[in-house]
Amino acid sequence: MYRTSSYLLKNANIYKSFFSYIVMKRIREEIIRKILYSLEEKPSSIQEISKKVGSNWSTTNEILEELKKDRKVREIVSTEKIRLFKLARDDTYLDIPISNKGKQIGFYLFNKIKKEWAKKMGKPPMNTDVLKVAVDVLEKTNLSRELPTVWYLFGKIPILKYSPEVDYPISDIEDSGRIDKEVSVSIKAFSTKRTVYERMLQQYETYNNELYKSKEKIRDMLNKNLDDEKILKELENEIAKFYFCIPTKDDASGIAMIVHEFIILLEKMILSLKKLDRFKKEITDAFASIWELVAIYMFFDSLGSYEQFKNREDLRFIYFENSIQYRISNAKDFLSQLNSIYLNNLDNLPEKMNYSKEAEAVRNMFFEMGIEKEK
């Protein structure tokens, strides 16, 4: 009798603990769901999140740490005073949020392009082909309002990532007829170009993007013989053009200043060292780091033109600032390395510039600033 009661009591305790474990687990899952939901709206601090989800600070903090480990959230600001978290979205670039409608359009489009391309070209498309056709279609059908397209490293792309392994689910969407038609037209247009590279240039031409065209010309020239005077002359003209095309908005000024440093440094190397082939790798690396910086700004700038992202300051702070700062520091490292090479090899002054009335006029005004004193 005694043993039986004890046995029952023991089992009752087990059931009780199990039950409370289940309840606790459910409560915790509910908090997790609420936390993730609250971050859908905007990045928040631990305190803001705990208020929104009705949980205390330490539980919220503990769960956020777990979610961070599972890569479901990212900590974007981490100071003594404040820690800010944002939702990690693996399906878009830089965790940029998109509407469900935008996602459905993207899935439909990717699916359609993949099939159509394989049918027409007899092989599956490259990632970049899918993205370029998708951009074309989104722009022509005006659906980029739902699924924004942005300029990035190799041209214009939708903010939704494409992966060839994924079997994209298709749901009924409005305008599917127009999308299908434009997909065919766009694939036909792109198929006239043989290589991915040519198709990339075609996109730059289509959107008449002088900055991207210039970037590609510079990359092309950097592959040539940099001891050749003619190539260096062309490079000199092209880097000036590239610099001229850098965006001029106030929030681009920090980036433009770094581009300025690179352009002047390269111009100095061309004018004073004359033969640059032996420094090709360092110059190419520095230019690549500059381009990564410019491209992330172009992403931000083009995204900021959409109504849903019109608050540029917030957009930059939440989704871009960390990447921009990282790339600035990276570009500075490459520039510093290139500058050391230039200084270590500066053994002669460049030849004097050829005189012209126009150049003299610029020079005369240019040096007025130098003659005046610093205050």
Partner 1 sequence: MKNFFLDQSVIVGYASFIFNEPETIIKAIERFGKTCTDFIESNKKEQFVTCFYIIENDLPKFKNRRKIALQEIRKKLHDPSYEIGSSEMATKYLYKRDINWANRIFSLLGILSPKQLFQLLIKIDAVFSIRIDYLIGNIIDKIVIPIEEINKELGNILREFIDDYSDCNVFASVLQYTTESESILETKKFFFLTLDKEHFNENNISFIEQEPRLKNYKFPEMEILI
Q: How many C-beta atoms lie closer than 10 Å to residue 130's C-beta?
A: 22
* 362 lines the binding site for partner 1 (CB under 8 A): yes
Give the residue with the Cβ less far from partner 1, 90 or 372. 372
By CB under 8 A, tell whether 233 contacts partner 1: no
Q: Considering only 53-61, 94-102, 257-265, 300-308, which stretch makes contact with partner 1 by CB under 8 A?
A: 257-265
Q: Assess 313 for contact with partner 1 (CB under 8 A).
A: no
Q: How far apart are CA 194 and CA 165, in angstroms?
A: 24
Stretch that binds partner 1, among 92-100, 254-262, 285-293, 319-327 (CB under 8 A): 254-262
Measured at the CA of 255, the angle between CA 249 and CA 257, to 5 degrees, comes to 100
Near partner 1 by CB under 8 A: residue from 90, 165, 172, 358: 358
* One-letter amino acid of 357: K
Minimum separation from the CB atom of position 67 to partner 1 (A)? 37
- Interior CA angle at 125 toward 158 and 197, to 5°? 75
Residue 373 binds to partner 1 (criterion: CB under 8 A): yes
Q: What's the closest the beta carbon of residue 221 comes to partner 1, in angstroms?
A: 16
Q: In whole angstroms, what is the distance from residue 164 CA to residue 166 CA?
A: 6
**Which member of 84, 105, 183, 263 binds partner 1 (CB under 8 A)?**
263
Quick check: 287 and 335 in contact, CB under 8 A?
A: no
Question: What whole-number distance in Å separates Cα of residue 196 and Cα of residue 209?
Answer: 18
Instruction: Considering the complex, state which of residue 242 and residue 320 has its C-beta at the smaller distance from partner 1.
Output: 242
Does residue number 340 form part of the binding site for partner 1 (CB under 8 A)? no
375 binds partner 1 (CB under 8 A): yes
360 in contact with partner 1 (CB under 8 A): yes
Alpha carbons 99 and 146: distance in angstroms, whole number: 7
Binding segment for partner 1 (CB under 8 A), chosen from 145-153, 166-174, 259-267, 323-331, is 259-267
Q: Is 208 among the residues that bind partner 1 (CB under 8 A)?
A: no
Q: Tell me the backbone φ, ψ of residue 84, rounded to 5 degrees.
A: -115, 140
200-206-210-211 Cα dihedral, nearest 10 degrees: -40
For the chain, the first-to-last Cα distance in angstroms comes to 100
Stretch that binds partner 1, among 14-22, 153-161, 176-184, 348-356 (CB under 8 A): 348-356
- Please say which residue, 83 or 312, places its beta carbon nearer to partner 1: 312
- Provide the pairing of β-strand 149-152 with 83-87: unpaired
Q: Name the token pair of 85.
A: 């978290």
Q: Please say which residue, 121 or 359, places its beta carbon nearer to partner 1.
A: 359
| Residue 248 binding partner 1, by CB under 8 A | yes
For helices 100-121 and 176-191, angle between their N-to-C axes, nearest 10 degrees: 40
Is 346 near partner 1 (CB under 8 A)? yes
Token look-up 């006239």 returns 192
**Nearest CA to 200 among 187, 183, 186, 213?**
213
Minimum distance of partner 1 from residue 333's CB (angstroms): 19
Q: Pick from 9, 257, 329, 340: which binds partner 1 (CB under 8 A)?
A: 257
241 binds partner 1 (CB under 8 A): yes
Helices (H), 122-157: 127-140
Binding site for partner 1 (CB under 8 A): 236-237, 239-241, 243-244, 246, 248, 250, 253, 256-257, 260-261, 263-264, 267-268, 271-272, 342-343, 346-355, 357-375
